[in-house]
Amino acid sequence: MLNQPFIDEVSAKVREILANTPARDIETNMRAMLAAMFARLDLVTRHEFDVQTELLARTREKLAALETRLTELDKKGTS
């Protein structure tokens, strides 16, 4: 099996070679194109998603408590 320093060295040399070729421009253009495409999509970060999930869970708990309270008040009102 190849050792990690050798792999790192080969990878660095390939990056260095590609940096001086049109392939580097292609990579840069692809990154820009993908960034623009994702910017047009209505995406949220994982953090934003987690915050909204937590907020929804708390809201559901409050709703359940209110429904229970309403049921109890209805029972008292009909008694």
pLDDT at 64: 97
The whole-chain average pLDDT of the chain stands at 86
Burial 33-67 (b: 16+ CB within 10 A, else e): eeeeeeeeeeeeeeeeeeeeeeeeeeeeeeeeeee
For the chain, the domains span: 1-43, 44-79
pLDDT at 2: 57
Asked if 24 and 18 count as a contact pair (C-beta separation under 8 A), the reply is: yes
pLDDT at 51: 97
Residue bearing the bigger pLDDT, 47 or 78: 47
Question: Does the pLDDT at position 4 exceed 60?
Answer: yes
Question: Does the pLDDT at position 21 exceed 80?
Answer: no
Kindly report the pTM of this predicted structure.
0.49
**Residue 19 to residue 71: CA distance in whole angstroms:** 70
